[in-house]
Amino acid sequence: MTAFASGQSRITIRRIIAPLALAQFICSFAGSNMNVMINDISHDLDTSVQGVQISITLFLLTMAALMIPAGKLTDKFGRKRLFTLGLIVYGIGAVVSAAAPGLWALILGNSILEGIGTALLIPPVYILTTVHLPELTARAWAFGIISAMGGIGAAAGPLIGGLITTAISWRAAFLFQALIIVVILLLSRRLTDPIPAKPDRPFDIVGAVLSALGLFVLVLGILAADTSVILMTSLLLAGVLILIVFFWWVRKRERAGKEALLSTALFRNRLSNLALVTQNLQWVLLMGTSFTVSAYLQVVRGYNAIETGVIFTAATVGLLLTSLLAGRLAKGFSQRALIIVGFVLCVPGVALLIWLTASTTNAWAFVPGLFLIGSGLGLMLTPSFFVDESAFPEKMQGEISGLSRSVSNLGSTLGTAVAGTILIANVAAGGAAYGFAMGVLAVLGLVGLIAALLLPKRIVTAAAET
């Protein structure tokens, strides 16, 4: 707060931070709160656990696939306009989900409409913060709050969702989301967009279709793992091929002097690439753990929504504590050190979730591991984002912000798809399937730790040099 003039502080809190941070919170909340409703939704809509997993994964995938195209559309149609449109689409999706008579309606409301709404509103959250706060210290502070609210939303989703589901109904959890959207719309009435829209700016439609289709087919291949090895392999190869064509198309447009959906220069920066890997794997750990543990508690151990949500309080508490301390710790420790310590806490946390739950049926066995994972994530979510942003000058902040959000959401998708598919495909094996799924997450956490160790010890902020 000391980095601002008092007038700027008031504007930041009342007109910018409040609606934007709350928007990030509710979108992250939506990605995890359904995890504790698996049994309730599957029974009510007469579907399977896999059906609910598909709905959750498609929501996350829709976000990831459309985040970059939506980021480009902010310049064409205006950031405030796209933010408001995203909120409205999201709110409609929440109401449709609350009234869903079957799985198809839940997929329409939650996976598609809420996913599209999130993709539309999240890029403006970070771009509006950037344009309103030109001073780097103030911007970093704001990004820290917004990113922390995203992590808290994801971690607290199971508890809040469990409370609402048990006290009222799983449908009320979607009405809660719609209510929050109304609050955000009211708070954002005075939010302005200082940069005029450019309706004539070209948009790479082919690139947008190829990127979205490639990611969709790739994740669909992961979900098909329990159906057919041939189908899974075919879809995975097709997804990779489409993404290769996408990058070829982008490079072709750049060489022709045309604006591409995504600048390939973003992938030629070693610092940014390593930071993106750590971001992706942080959300793989968060959402993969959330879905796997929730599904195991409900499907295998028979816990209800509130019991599952209460157990996840350990992760929420850990994330809150370290998020509150992260700002102070950043003054004495480098961003690299915080990211490393974050993974050092998360990986043993996953190991504890495997070991303790295998040795006892006591529900408290989940607490130490979840607390460590939450604490680790609270330490490193914001530093990874800051390192990624610092790798590029001011003029590229909009693009890297969109890519960063897309990579984070892809991590959420992969965590739910990979770990969830392993568990559900072998759910009859109970604890063994759970242990295997969590073991995969532990390995991915180690990959994240390696990427963090490869970050340079001294990080120079490129934005500050321009």
DSSP string, 70-127: HHHHHHHH-HHHHHHHHHHHHHHHHHHHHT-SSHHHHIIIIIIIIHHHHHHHHHHHHH
Which residues, in sequence order, are CB contacts of 431 under 8 Å at separation 6+?
Answer: 300, 357, 358
CB atoms within 10 A of CB 259: 14
Spatial CA neighbour of 64 closest among 386, 411, 441, 445: 411
- Position 268 scores a pLDDT of 83
**How does DSSP classify residue 1?**
-
Report the percent of the chain where pLDDT is more than 90.
Answer: 33
- Residue 206 pLDDT > 70, yes or no? yes
Question: Both tokens of residue 434?
Answer: 């759970």
Q: pLDDT (tens digit, 9 = 90+) per residue, 240-299? A: 999 999 999 999 998 988 888 888 888 888 888 898 999 999 989 988 898 888 888 888
**Per-residue confidence band for 3, with pLDDT thresholds at 50, 70 and 90:** very low
Domain ranges of the chain: 6-204+261-465, 205-260
Domain spanning 6-204+261-465: CATH 3.40.1400.10: no
Predicted TM-score of the model (pTM): 0.82
Contact 259, 253 (CB under 8 A): yes
**Strand, helix or coil for residue 199:** coil
Contact 217, 238 (CB under 8 A): yes
Report the percent of the chain where pLDDT is more than 70.
Answer: 91
Report the distance separating Cα 118 and Cα 135, nearest Å: 27
Report the distance separating Cα 119 and Cα 430, nearest Å: 35
- Residue 307 pLDDT > 90, yes or no? no
Q: What is the CA radius of gyration of the chain?
A: 21
**How does DSSP classify residue 393?**
-
